Structure 1
């Protein structure tokens, strides 16, 4: 089961993701990221510490997020490796 929890402090908005993330969940996550900046832009982070499994499209999405300045916190090593392997491909955050 995929879950998103949002937290905020004065300098950072964090979306903690957990569970299995597949391409079907990306539209929901993309929508949250697009509406988040609101009136004042605040840096955004995705906390991946509780992510169990991701598919190829999600890896591309995470790489695109980083390219657009979104921080990936607690990124599992296998996800980091796949992102680095797939650099150069993009998928809109």
Structure 2
């Protein structure tokens, strides 16, 4: 999963740079993402495992929803192509996360 995320981040940066004007993805976590990270850091053992699995499902579902929406109605061709191409990978990751 780390390789897939590293590869998709590189593809996103390339697609965003190809937009006119170029788009720079925000490297900061959203407040909700930071809260999830903080919550995970405060847990251990089975509590961590349960929270991590739920966070993975939630994050992959949100990413999939965003990708599908943009692939259908996005205005930047390079990002629309990126979104469309990533849907199968994120769907697979979501299914794996649901199996945790």
TM-score, L = length of structure 1: 0.29
Higher helix share: 2
Higher strand share: 1
Q: Relative contact order, CA 8 A, sep 6+: which one is greater? A: 2
Please tell me whether Structure 1 or Structure 2 has the larger radius of gyration of its CA atoms.
2
